[in-house]
Chain A
């Protein structure tokens, strides 16, 4: 067989498979290595720590984690602070639908080819890249007793009881902090929705216009179904983010007043990193509980979006 003949001989499927497989794994390897190092291993080790006694004096003396079974979970569910914090985190999920609806609506608006739209797109995104310490100072000005919010409400005669310390009241602080979360997340989801909207083929819209569909009909019949994968992604991200709220709480209220803004992640943070007790075992167990809640909510999200049209997206 000549060289030319040899090169022209078609290769069998088995000739290719090992090489293809190897090549695929080679391409995947960098991502897999990073994921193993920074996601899978911490996840597995953190889950293991949740069933151990590790931290405090044990850690200080260089002793390894000690297996204690479900003891940490017993401690957690007997701790009123943990239950309050978990309750607050779940309550915090109220922000998710509002955030999603608002960012989708604004994405639809800024998707129009009107003058000045790039400015609005950028302006809505600014809070996402603003540091939390800077944002906290600004929101303090808004929420202070003599701050902007009271001034505006006072000017509109909407403060019959006098100025309110929005971050100091048990009934107001939670919602005040949530508004900051909304403000910080809004631009991020808007950009994701904008990307999704720009992926919808124009022909579909044009065909619907020719068929005489109204703007509202086009939105419900074309935009929303086409945006379902993006809506699912944003809902998942936003649900997980709501359960992980920490920074704004720390800087604005430190969990107060009367623990009304104390979230589950704040509990994890305080047990693991505040002071010198660093009870990694208990913190990991609390983190695991939060992860399980997040997982359950993610499954619910998937089910909701799958069942709504019987299609597994």
Chain B
């Protein structure tokens, strides 16, 4: 009897202790690593506040934040290799596609209910992160390639033209602006980003990139004629030579601030730079709707949040990604910097309906609720690094007169169809 009592006491003590231990284990905070891309130090307060709000709502999750810059992809690869993969990573559409194609990412529709994803984001912004039928990223802040048109009214007046309403008008006035003012009309994105953004112009004019069987098909007479138009302008000295070497947005903002470019087609973020570098020009800059191609569509890109396959805490990671990309947090971000939210609810937000004469505020209200238009215009092909490089080299050869426009596009299409991985 004495023995049984002792055993019972021991059992009770053990169960009590183990219960305590399991509760302690459940309460043990999970630490997840969160990597952003080029956001620190400018947006530190926003990121830190949002993380603090998330941790408050999820007391068992601790977030360790790192902002990565030029070496983001290399760091990511190295960390996966070393077994210390981050849990949430901020990648753009292009990099997400490449990472997913190479098996680095978890499909997020397995972590968050597809119905929730569909009600949170615009269908197109979700499609941007859909690779092989699965969603690999939570769409985050976006931007539109066309976005808005910013222009220097003095230069347009001197050239005797008014703001173009579409790209046909824009291309038609390029010579007049340069000849009469000495400034370039605008800086088109001939090569960037990823070396293939000229494909965006095809899409904007309603010209297909792939055919029905998924093969590259951007060498029709219409494609060639459009490229030839740009080649003629480039050879005539009507587009800056540097556009083949430098990122178009960076070059455009630099030259605009020096009164060497009359117009910028792009996101409101250009205005932030102009405000810093030339406040008086900023004050007179006019903001209006962007000139679009013949298809009348915008193109654009967005950042996303992805969960690496190697993440040890995918469920917690998914919670953080969903939190950062929800409507409230994207709107809060849009109030700090003119981004385009990717959440469907953003289109009804009163913040984007405000009327203002300030260029940034006006541009923000013009594009802020346009997240549904964020679409690069083409799916990232497999083996994209090699294909983009080849595309870029051929565009350059056409611009520099080493190949005709037809030859450049035919060569590219042939290379793509031989080297594209499905």
A277-B383, A278-B77 as given contacts; A168 in contact with B104, CB under 8 Å:
no
Convert A140-156 into 0s and 1s, putting 1 for each residue whose CB lies closer than 8 angstroms to a CB of B: 00001100000000000
A257-B245, A276-B95 as given contacts; A59 in contact with B102, CB under 8 Å:
yes
Q: Are A256 and B396 in contact (CB under 8 A)?
A: yes
- Say how far B232's CB is from chain A's closest CB, in angstroms: 18
Query: Quick one: closest A residue to B96, CB to CB?
Result: A276
- Ranked nearest first, the 6 interchain pairs of A and B with the lowest CB-CB distance are A276-B98, A60-B103, A275-B385, A60-B102, A168-B241, A60-B104
Q: Are A276 and B400 in contact (CB under 8 A)?
A: no
Q: Are A60 and B309 in contact (CB under 8 A)?
A: yes
> Is A165's CB within 8 Å of the partner chain B?
yes
Convert B100-132 into 0s and 1s, putting 1 for each residue whose CB lies closer than 8 angstroms to a CB of A: 011110000000000000000000000000000
Q: Which of B242, B244, B385 contacts A277 (CB 8 A)?
A: B385
- Say how far A41's CB is from chain B's closest CB, in angstroms: 15
A170 contact set on B, CB distance < 8 A:
400
Rounded to whole angstroms, the CA-CA distance of A32 and B245 in the bound complex is 44
> Is A134's CB within 8 Å of the partner chain B?
no
Q: Are B241 and A145 in contact (CB under 8 A)?
A: yes
- Say how far A255's CB is from chain B's closest CB, in angstroms: 9
- Say how far A167's CB is from chain B's closest CB, in angstroms: 6
- Say how far B401's CB is from chain A's closest CB, in angstroms: 10
B102 contact set on A, CB distance < 8 A:
56-57, 59-60, 276-277
Task: Please list 17 pairs of residues, one from A and one from B, whose beta carbons are closer than 8 Å in the complex, sorted by A's number.
Answer: A57-B101, A60-B80, A60-B102, A60-B104, A253-B245, A256-B245, A258-B396, A258-B397, A258-B400, A270-B389, A274-B385, A275-B384, A276-B77, A276-B95, A276-B101, A277-B385, A278-B77
B397 contact set on A, CB distance < 8 A:
258
> Is B402's CB within 8 Å of the partner chain A?
yes
> Is A273's CB within 8 Å of the partner chain B?
yes
> Is B411's CB within 8 Å of the partner chain A?
no
> Is B169's CB within 8 Å of the partner chain A?
no
Q: Which of B389-413 contact A (CB under 8 A)?
A: 389, 393, 396-397, 400, 402
Rounded to whole angstroms, the CA-CA distance of A277 and B400 in the bound complex is 29
Query: Quick one: closest B residue to A252, CB to CB?
Result: B245
> Is A259's CB within 8 Å of the partner chain B?
yes
> Is A21's CB within 8 Å of the partner chain B?
no
Most buried by A among B102, B244, B383, B386: B102
- Say how far B98's CB is from chain A's closest CB, in angstroms: 3
> Is B73's CB within 8 Å of the partner chain A?
yes
Kindly state the interface size class of chain A when it binds its partner. 20 to 34
Q: Which of A165, A258, A278 contacts B242 (CB 8 A)?
A: A165
> Is B23's CB within 8 Å of the partner chain A?
no
> Is B74's CB within 8 Å of the partner chain A?
yes
Chain A at the B interface: SS class: loop
A270-B385, A277-B385 as given contacts; A257 in contact with B101, CB under 8 Å:
no
> Is A61's CB within 8 Å of the partner chain B?
yes
- Say how far B346's CB is from chain A's closest CB, in angstroms: 29
Query: Quick one: closest A residue to B392, CB to CB?
Result: A256
Q: Which of B99, B309, B402 contacts A276 (CB 8 A)?
A: B99
Q: Are A273 and B245 in contact (CB under 8 A)?
A: no
- B residues sitting closer than 8 Å to A (CB atoms) are 73-74, 77, 80-81, 95, 98-99, 101-104, 241-242, 244-245, 309, 383-386, 389, 393, 396-397, 400, 402
Q: Which of A257-289 contact B (CB under 8 A)?
A: 257-259, 270, 273-278
> Is A47's CB within 8 Å of the partner chain B?
no
Q: Which of B81, B104, B245 contacts A254 (CB 8 A)?
A: B245
- Say how far B107's CB is from chain A's closest CB, in angstroms: 14
Rounded to whole angstroms, the CA-CA distance of A276 and B385 in the bound complex is 8
- Say how far A24's CB is from chain B's closest CB, in angstroms: 35
Rounded to whole angstroms, the CA-CA distance of A170 and B401 in the bound complex is 12
A165 contact set on B, CB distance < 8 A:
241-242
Rounded to whole angstroms, the CA-CA distance of A259 and B397 in the bound complex is 10
Q: Are B402 and A258 in contact (CB under 8 A)?
A: yes
B101 contact set on A, CB distance < 8 A:
57, 276
Convert A25-66 into 0s and 1s, putting 1 for each residue whose CB lies closer than 8 angstroms to a CB of B: 000000000000000000000000000000011011100000
B103 contact set on A, CB distance < 8 A:
57, 60-61
A258 contact set on B, CB distance < 8 A:
393, 396-397, 400, 402
Query: Quick one: closest B residue to A79, CB to CB?
Result: B386
Q: Which of A145, A167, A254, A273 contacts B73 (CB 8 A)?
A: A273
- Say how far B299's CB is from chain A's closest CB, in angstroms: 21
- Say how far A142's CB is from chain B's closest CB, in angstroms: 14
B242 contact set on A, CB distance < 8 A:
144, 165, 168
Rounded to whole angstroms, the CA-CA distance of A81 and B393 in the bound complex is 11
A277 contact set on B, CB distance < 8 A:
98, 102, 383, 385-386
Q: Are B245 and A168 in contact (CB under 8 A)?
A: yes
Query: Quick one: closest A residue to B91, CB to CB?
Result: A276
Q: Are A257 and B396 in contact (CB under 8 A)?
A: yes
Q: Are B244 and A276 in contact (CB under 8 A)?
A: no
Rounded to whole angstroms, the CA-CA distance of A185 and B101 in the bound complex is 42
B104 contact set on A, CB distance < 8 A:
60, 276
Other than A274-B73, A276-B95, give 7 A-B pairs with Cβ distance below 8 A.
A57-B102, A59-B81, A60-B99, A258-B396, A273-B74, A277-B98, A277-B386
- Say how far A284's CB is from chain B's closest CB, in angstroms: 15
Query: Quick one: closest A residue to B102, CB to CB?
Result: A60
- Say how far A6's CB is from chain B's closest CB, in angstroms: 56
Rounded to whole angstroms, the CA-CA distance of A311 and B402 in the bound complex is 52
Rounded to whole angstroms, the CA-CA distance of A59 and B241 in the bound complex is 39
Query: Quick one: closest A residue to B402, CB to CB?
Result: A258
Query: Quick one: closest B residue to A63, CB to CB?
Result: B103
Most buried by B among A144, A145, A167, A256: A256
Rounded to whole angstroms, the CA-CA distance of A259 and B390 in the bound complex is 11
A276 contact set on B, CB distance < 8 A:
73, 77, 95, 98-99, 101-102, 104, 385
B98 contact set on A, CB distance < 8 A:
275-277
Rounded to whole angstroms, the CA-CA distance of A81 and B241 in the bound complex is 23
Query: Quick one: closest A residue to B243, CB to CB?
Result: A168
Rounded to whole angstroms, the CA-CA distance of A257 and B245 in the bound complex is 8
- Say how far A62's CB is from chain B's closest CB, in angstroms: 8
B389 contact set on A, CB distance < 8 A:
81, 270
Q: Are B73 and A275 in contact (CB under 8 A)?
A: yes
- Say how far A300's CB is from chain B's closest CB, in angstroms: 33
A270 contact set on B, CB distance < 8 A:
385, 389
Rounded to whole angstroms, the CA-CA distance of A59 and B78 in the bound complex is 11
Rounded to whole angstroms, the CA-CA distance of A256 and B392 in the bound complex is 10
- Say how far B237's CB is from chain A's closest CB, in angstroms: 10
- Say how far A149's CB is from chain B's closest CB, in angstroms: 15
A256 contact set on B, CB distance < 8 A:
244-245, 396
